Amino acid sequence: MHDFLSRLGQNVAILGTQWGDEGKGKLVDAMSEHFDLICRSTGGANAGHTIVTNGKKYVFHLLPSGLLHSNTIGVVGNGCVVDLVDLVEEIDSLESLGLQVFDRVKISLRAHLLFQYHKAVDAEIENRKGAAKIGTTHRGIGPAYEDKIARIGIRAEDLLDIDLLKEKIATNCKFHAQNLGVICDEVAEFERLMSVREKIKPLLTDTSKYLRDAIGDGKKILFEGAQAHHLDIDHGTYPFVTSSNVSVGGIFTGLGVSPKSLHHIIGIAKAYTTRVGMGPFPTELTDEFGNQLRENGGEYGATTGRPRRCGWFDAVVVKNTVDINGVDSINLTKLDVLSGVKTLKIATQYFLDGQEIFNIPTTKKHSKNLEIKYLEMPGWTASLSGIKQFEDLPKEAQQYVLKIESLIGCKVSSIGVGMDRTDLIFR
Ligand code: IMP
């Protein structure tokens, strides 16, 4: 691990390369104790990491999961959307497990607040879309970002001016009630927020300045990505995406730090592919084998409990992420889940009307006509449990990893072979 970390430099980002749930939390957890600050730059409580350690189950939605290590400080950047009441609950539930968190969290004054009405709007829009729904987490993420972009959003700093805050909440409640007919109780919203105001106030920080100073002082920063590149509002499978820039650019805008302060980008890729929610998924397996993969990999959403859709590893998807984000190295997760699969398949190329294309077509018509070229490889039967060296993996597993590496054009520098934080092979 130390060897691996020393190659990365001061500040490191961890990004999902597929559709989320690649197992980012595990690497963050394994690396965090070697960092001073762990930052979230985009999204909200739509993310979910559950970490079980010493028999205790810690659940993180909005807070960076790196907070599990008591030496770290967690930063929630200006690019995030935050339900402060849910955040206090998340902090309280971690504290009830004996983890001191309150004095280790900084929330950007510029972070946008997420209200109950955003959740109601999220559910209402999904409902109206019927079969065309996105399959959101119903956490109000899209509607909170809509308010931000429409320039009617309410920010954390508004907590410091109660009269104006009350007025803004009333205006937004009326607007959403009129627009979509959702129930917006402006008094309840205001009081709900007031119930946590005093607890939250000390956490509010000019996080951009705080981070710039920390970087200047040589502190080590881990940028903990949420969701994944193919859920990015611009680069993902629009409209089946989340509502923020979860690819690398979101780190700089979502935290107010310079691109020059990032020294290494780790992409997390599952050894197969999963997706929750609707939207294109070229290598999806809808047969019995897909179900088996779901059970073997425990593929159920951490935030919503929904069964994840499962499919073969898609090198086109991951290469697209590597190229756009400038990913420096890959952490390949859950290789152990593939033990016992007789023949493995990897999608290597896409063609549309005989022409090679390099990303997923987002129109329905083109999605339907997509031709996928697969490569087949022999699988392995042995369990990978306890293996610490790449050379000790079954030959076929080594070949699978090396093939992925050459197809995506990026080194696989760590490999997950089990549930525990120590079940990692570094190369
Ligand atoms: P939203 O972010 O709740 O608006 O959901 C938009 C899409 O992103 C849906 O397909 C969700 O299932 C997906 N999504 C959001 N957060 C996550 C995540 O943390 N992991 C995997 N998928 C996610």
For 79-136, the DSSP string reads TBEE-HHHHHHHHHHHHTTT---GGGEEEETTPEE--HHHHHHHHHHHHHHGGG----
**Which residues make Cβ contacts (< 8 Å) with residue 183, sequence separation at least 6?**
120, 177
- Active-site residue among 49, 112, 230, 235? 49
- The whole-angstrom separation of Cα 245 and Cα 231 is 8
- Dist. CA 241 → ligand 1 center (Å): 7
pTM of the full predicted structure?
A: 0.96
Which of 42, 129, 276, 362 is the pocket-test mutation for ligand 1 (most atoms within 8 Å of CB)? 276
pLDDT at 83: 98
Report the nearest-CA residue for atom 8 of ligand 1. Answer: 242
Under 8 Å CB-to-CB from 84, ≥6 apart: which residues?
113, 156, 159, 193, 196, 200
CA–CA gap between residue 1 and residue 192 (Å, rounded): 44
All structural domains of the chain = 2-109+206-426 (3.40.440.10), 112-203 (1.10.300.10)
| pLDDT digit string, tens, across residues 328-345 | 999 999 999 999 999 999
**Which residues in the chain come in under a pLDDT of 50?**
none
**What's the CA gap between 233 and 70, in Å, rounded?**
34
The whole-number pLDDT of residue 234 equals 97
Give the mutation target among 242, 275, 299, 309 for probing the ligand 1 site: most ligand atoms within 8 A of CB.
Answer: 242
| CA 16-19-25 angle, 5° bins | 45
Residue 170 C-alpha to ligand 1 middle, in angstroms? 29
Q: Where are the beta strands (DSSP E) in 17-55?
A: 37-40, 49-53
Nearest residue (by CA) to ligand 1, atom 21, is 20
Q: Please report the pLDDT score of residue 179 as a whole number.
A: 87
- Unique residue bearing structure tokens 């990893």: 401
Residue nearest to atom 22 of ligand 1 (CA): 20
Closest atom of ligand 1 relative to the 137 alpha carbon: 3
* Protein residue with its CA nearest to atom 15 in ligand 1: 46
**Dist CA 170 CA 184 (whole Å):** 9
pLDDT of residue 157: 98
Parallel, antiparallel, or unpaired for β 112-113 and 355-357? unpaired
Residue 419 CA to ligand 1 center (angstroms) comes to 23
> Is the backbone of residue 279 left (phi > 0), alpha (psi -120 to 50) or beta?
left
Residue 323 catalytic? no
Residue 266's DSSP bridge partners are: 14, 329
Report the nearest atom of ligand 1 relative to the CA of 276.
Answer: 12
Task: Report the length, in residues, of the chain.
Answer: 427
Closest ligand 1 atom to residue 226 Cα is 19
Contacts 24+ apart (CB under 8 A), 399-405: 400/271, 400/335, 400/338, 400/344, 400/346, 401/332, 401/335, 403/346, 403/375, 403/377, 404/269, 404/271, 404/313, 404/315, 404/318, 404/330, 404/332, 404/346, 405/330
List 21, 83, 232, 314, catalytic entry: 21
Which one of 50, 80, 230, 231 would you pick to mutate in the ligand 1 pocket, going by the greatest count of ligand atoms within 8 A of its CB? Answer: 231
Give the binding-site residues of ligand 1, using a 6 Å CB cut-off.
19-21, 46-48, 134-137, 139, 141-142, 226-227, 231, 240, 242-243, 276-277
Residue 334 contacts residue 416 (beta carbons within 8 Å): yes
DSSP annotation of 155 reads B
Known active-site residue 122: no
Per DSSP, 409 falls in state T
Counting from 1 in the atom list of ligand 1, the atom nearest the Cα of 122 is: 4
